[in-house]
Chains A and B, each alone.
Chain A
Amino acid sequence: ETAVFQTPNYHVTQVGNEVSFNCKQTLGHDTMYWYKQDSKKLLKIMFSYNNKQLIVNETVPRRFSPQSSDKAHLNLRIKSVEPEDSAVYLCASSPGLQDTQYFGPGTRLLVL
């Protein structure tokens, strides 16, 4: 099956902990993205990676960092989570920078 896969589906953690989310795409795309979708359903770009190069970082707090081993994988690490980090984190990929993006199922994070 060709798609964008994310793990875990859901994660609950305490303030100050570190979390990591995984994303893998089997679509053969060159570009991958991380988005944050808040409680009002607003989708905001966090990072994009094209051929392992970070291209966009939209004023994201330093505690967030993307990690990529190859063009099919883009993980997201959050050091010392805060309550406002509670959201759904969506991974996406596209053939190139200007192409349609395909989304994974998302990881819902709840910070207590």
Chain B
Amino acid sequence: QQKVQQSPESLIVPEGGMASLNCTSSDRNVDYFWWYRQHSGKSPKMLMSIFSNGEKEEGRFTVHLNKASLHTSLHIRDSQPSDSALYLCAARMSNYNVLYFGSGTKLTVEP
């Protein structure tokens, strides 16, 4: 069973719209989450990380974390066609110092 689940599998939003992506871990040893973005044919690039309950904002990107439910979400406001990519959530298990990745959400921003 995968330790990190992401939803939705794919998402289409209009240019200028809000994209909301979800990620949950099934392992209570998780102590840190990362969000990576991978454009087609490219390598994953780190977007944001979070380990404290609450919210963190960087530009158009906001990430939330609820540690009790081991759920994190990424919100992209004013989405641009260049945001179209695969978004990967990664969770670190404190007892193993290993990152587990979800299978990603494919975001398409339509002009």
Contacts and interface: CB of A to CB of B under 8 A. Distances in A.
B101 A98 contact: no
B88 A103 contact: no
A44 interface: yes
A98 B42 CA distance: 24
B97 A98 contact: yes
Interface string B31-51: 010100010001111100100
Main secondary structure of the interface of A (DSSP, over half): loop
Given A56-B96, A56-B98, A102 B103 contact: no
Contacts of A62: none
Interface string B70-111: 000000000000000010101010001111110110000000
Interface string A15-45: 0000000000000000000000000111111
A1 interface: no
Contacts of A45: 98-100
B44 A100 contact: no
Contacts of B32: 98
A100 B101 contact: no
B104 A41 contact: yes
B97 A97 contact: yes
A105 interface: yes
A100 B103 contact: no
Contacts of B42: 105
Contact of A43 (B44, B45, B46, B92): B44
Interface of B: 32, 34, 38, 42-46, 49, 86, 88, 90, 92, 96-101, 103-104
Given A56-B98, A105-B42, 6 more contacts: A41-B86, A42-B104, A90-B44, A102-B46, A103-B45, A106-B43
Interface of A: 40-45, 48, 55-56, 58, 90, 97-98, 100-106
4 A-B pairs closest in CB distance:
A103-B43, A43-B101, A97-B97, A42-B103
20 contacts: A41-B38, A41-B88, A41-B103, A41-B104, A42-B101, A42-B103, A42-B104, A43-B88, A45-B98, A45-B99, A56-B97, A58-B98, A90-B43, A98-B92, A100-B34, A102-B46, A103-B44, A104-B43, A105-B42, A105-B43
